[in-house]
Structure 1
Amino acid sequence: MKSRLATIAAASVIALCAAAPASAAVTVLTFEGIADSTPVGNFYAPNYTFSASTLALVDSDAGGNGNFANEPSGNTIFFFTGAETPILNVTNGFDTGFSFFYTSATAATVRVFSGFNGTGTLLGTIDLSAQFTQNCGGDPTGDFCNFTNAGVAFAGTAHSIDFGGTASQTGYDDITFGSDVAGGAVPEPATWAMMLAGFGMIGCTVRRRQQVRTTVAYA
């Protein structure tokens, strides 16, 4: 009986493995290790370079100036300041998809281009909504507490991202190349049931504040 049950269990695992989608090779930038309120710039060079207005931001709970909570990884995200169009150039290019987690006080649009500096063919567009306080609470502090997974799949090879129109209003984390889902990871078959059970247990409380800040960084 034991051997038959083991065979059935093994067959079930094989079936689940076959049913699970294969994950493509991806690269994820988490921005950990960059000092608070300093330019990202060439931190990920030579393949990834950010325009001058791009700053790393550390959660205030971890000693930084970040007015955010519930960040998807570590304590550091990035945001843009100034009036210039924020651009991320990818020297070697990437394909398949682009994604990230974001928190925003305003609607914005992120665009993926085939050329450098936001030129060439438009390969994909990601529209962002103003969702920064929706259905969430701090950890323990931070007004920008909703981080949403957003992405786009596309055909062709991309070399730049235009994050236009989000200065001081939008924070990003886990920038992902090669997948339209931030992080790009596909759960192992054995974790599917646990994930499904966990989804019913995950919740957060809407916080009421007398004064809500509208920038992702504290002044």
Structure 2
Amino acid sequence: MKRNNLASISGMASTFIKQASIVPFYAALSALALTTFNVEKAQAATIVLDFEGLQNLENVNGFYNGGSGSQGNTGTNFGIEFSSNSLAIVDADAGGTGNFGGEPSPDTILFFLSGGAAVMNVAAGFDTGFSFFYSAINNPGTINVYDGLNGMGNILATLNLPTTPFNGAPDPMGQFSPFVPFGVGFTGIAKSVDFGGVVNQIGFDNITLGAATPGGGGGTPASVPEPGSVIALLLIGGASASQIKRQAIS
């Protein structure tokens, strides 16, 4: 049985298998080439959300807002709240149900199983840039950065996310691997971000506020390839998605 979902959930993997589509890939790649991708190190004032401390399939909720996740776990109070459909998932290698690997800060990432997007609210706002690592092997995704809460107000930045490679180093045991860095600079004060895509088909880690380069675990800068290397990696991802589409999926 092929494992084509991000989460391995009883009853879902055998009945809900998505075919890959590369139709939006080349248009999204063009958008990537035009995106300002800052490869400098993240500044100390940036905030990095790595989702460590949350349990498998725990709703993030107020974990980063002085409250807790749905299972009672608490994190640093950054004044950041997530929508109720925003979930943490732990890598299967670490005892969770996550079909992923190569995440920048093991072993927990963000994803969602309902709705069209997970939403992050930052009441105090943030500026300069926004960045993250993501994996989306079957379907592309979209990120919108807004100057209002709950995905309202003016859009400050839109990022179209192409499909990414699968079964890759450094952890070929999880199909959603590796995670690819993506970031953008913008003007204005952002107060919310929506993470869009197909449910159970896209995951995010090391979400970074205040910099166009994603940070590493604990807020330290991550090792980020040059823009040309990122584009080449995504081209490989598009080719891989094409190969998946030619296979029979039942």
Same fold (TM over 0.5): yes
What is the deviation of 1:29?
A: 0.5
AA paired with 2:63?
A: F
Of 111, 129, 140, the match for 1:107:
140
For residues 149 and 41 of structure 2, the distance between their equivalents in structure 1, rounded to whole angstroms, comes to: 32
User: 2: distance between equivalents of 1:57 and 1:170?
Assistant: 12
Shift of 1:25: 1.6
Q: Which amino acid aligns with 1:125?
A: T
Residue in structure 2 matched with residue 15 of structure 1 by the alignment: none
The equivalent residue for 2:119 is 87
For the residues of structure 1 that align with 2:116 and 2:180, how far apart are their CA atoms?
Answer: 25
DSSP 3-state at the match of 2:62: coil
CA distance in 1, matches of 2:201, 2:117: 14
SS in structure 2 at match of 1:172: strand
Change (3 A) 1:88 1:166: farther
Corresponding position of 2:178: 146
Percent identity over the alignment? 43
Structure 1 residue 163, shift from structure 2 partner: 1.2
For the pair 1:60 / 2:92, whether they are aligned, the reply is yes
Contact 1:116 1:159 in 2 (8 A): yes
1:64 and 1:55 mapped to 2: Cα distance?
Answer: 13
2:102 maps to 1:70: yes
Deviation at 1:186, TM superposition (A): 5.8
- Larger-gyration structure (1/2): 1
What is the match of residue 48 of structure 2? 28
Aligned to 1:13: none
Q: Residue 151 of structure 1: CA displacement?
A: 1.0
Q: Structure 1: where are the runs of 5+ without partners?
A: 1-19, 200-205, 213-219
Tell me, which stretches of 5 or more residues in structure 2 are unaligned?
1-39, 67-78, 230-236, 245-250
Q: Match of 1:86, SS?
A: strand
8 Å CA contact retained: 1:114, 1:123: yes
Alignment partner for residue 121 of structure 1, among 145, 150, 154? 154
**One-letter amino acid of the counterpart of residue 111, structure 1:** N
Deviations 1:79-99 (A, max 9, x none): 011125421100111000000
Contact 1:133 1:144 in 2 (8 A): yes
* Offset, 1:132: 4.1
Question: Structure 1 CA distance, aligned partners of 2:42 and 2:64?
Answer: 27
Q: 1:152 touches 1:180 (CA, 8 Å); kept in 2?
A: yes
Count of residues in correspondence between the two structures: 175
Contact 1:24 / 1:178 at 8 angstroms: preserved in 2? no
For 2:86 and 2:187, the matched residues in 1 are separated by 27
The reply on whether 1:96 has 2:116 as its aligned counterpart is no
Q: Distance in 1 between matches of 2:41 and 2:182?
A: 19
2:144–2:194 contact (8 Å) kept in structure 1: yes
**Alpha-carbon distance change, 22 to 118 in structure 1, aligned in 2, over 3 angstroms:** closer
In 2, Cα distance between the equivalents of 1:85 and 1:170? Answer: 10
AA paired with 1:163? F
Partner of residue 51, structure 1: 83
Match of 1:178 among 195, 198, 210: 210
Shift of the alpha carbon at 1:53?
0.8
Q: 1:32 to 1:186 in 2, by over 3 A?
A: closer
- For residues 65-118 of structure 1, give each alpha carbon's deviation from its aligned partner in whole angstroms, at most 9, with x where no partner exists: 000011111211010111254211001110000000000121111000000011
Alignment check: 8 A CA contact 1:53 1:84 kept: no
